[in-house]
Amino acid sequence: MQPRSAQSLSTEPVRDKSAPGRGYVVVIYGLYIGSIMAVVTAPIGAIIAHLRLGRGAAWLDTHLRFQIRTFWLGVLAACGAVLLWQAAGFAGLPPVYAWSFGYLFFTLGIAWMMGRCGVGIHRLTANRPIDRPASWLFGTSPSWRG
């Protein structure tokens, strides 16, 4: 029997930096990170991800699905935050509560998005797919092993 590392290397498909569509994945991660300064870049990245899905290597499709899910979960969370922010305002709470909530939610949202982009870029530069592109958090396997 071969050692575990030799077994996994022999059964894994070959993934390299010249895979078709890899450049698009890099650009989309960059657009998502750039959306901190200019929000319009995130929808552009999501549109590119939707258009490129299924046109490249299968392992790159996991990154594209992860990016698409990052965008739509972010939109869903932002809509929920705006509704709660408005509800706090209509409930007659002092404005400091609504603004505190908005600041906290915005900060957590940015940290979540940057975490997802960081994990995605790390796995992309290592030529690895996203283990669970449909996850709510960071797409890694539950064991947190490479």
The mean per-residue pLDDT over the stretch 47-53 comes to 93
Q: How far is residue 44 CA from its own chain's centroid?
A: 14
Q: What are 24-41's pLDDT values in tens digits?
A: 999 999 999 999 898 899
**Among 30-39, 86-95, 104-113, the least confident range:** 86-95
pLDDT over threshold 70, residue 139: no
Residue 8's identity, in one-letter code, is S
Which residues contact residue 136 at a Cβ distance below 8 angstroms, ignoring those fewer than 6 apart? Answer: 73
Percent of the chain with pLDDT over 90: 35
State the Cα–Cα distance between residues 108 and 35, nearest whole angstrom. 15
State the Cα–Cα distance between residues 76 and 18, nearest whole angstrom. 34
Q: Give the confidence band of 6 by pLDDT, cuts at 50, 70, 90.
A: very low
